[in-house]
Structure 1
Amino acid sequence: MGPRQFAIYDYSFQVVCVDAEGNVIEKIGEMNNGAVARAAFEAAATQYAWSTIRLRNGARIMEDVRTGGYDSETKTIPIIERRS
């Protein structure tokens, strides 16, 4: 058996952006540390307007956040809904 052609990565946590049906649109990050994953999830919620951001641990959905549009007065992106 020769060397592997492709590297195999197995991360416990994923932060993804999903559409209305729950299909992954964009993979924001993958990591093994839960605290780092939570921080990446919270940071993504402040950067992605009109999106649904999902924190997953394997197949388990840990938390969902639905964001609104950019508010030019407060210079923030509001969180419309948060589900644990």
Structure 2
Amino acid sequence: MNLLDQLSGGAASEDRARCSRKGCRADAAWQLLWNNPRIHTPERRKIWLACGEHRAWLEEYLQVRSLWKETLPMGTATESDTR
């Protein structure tokens, strides 16, 4: 691996889905689908990934801001996956 790959996290070092919580390196078990109605069309879904430990924290963060839509287990196809 070269220096640029090490500094950027390199594709080779990040081959698994990881939790989106800052600083967490755990494997993701959940997909949190969300949408910001001020900037996204109603059908658009953004996805954050969550491990079991941070699922509730990330859901609450999105819910308080009225952004959360639904939570699905990893491996569940979403509409945005088919576009």
TM bin, normalised by shorter chain, reads: 0.3 to 0.5
> What is the TM-score normalised by the length of structure 1?
0.42
Higher helix share: 2
Asked which structure has the greater CA Rg, the reply is 1
Return the structure number with greater relative CO, CA threshold 8 A, min gap 6. Answer: 2
- TM-score, normalised by the number of residues in structure 2: 0.43
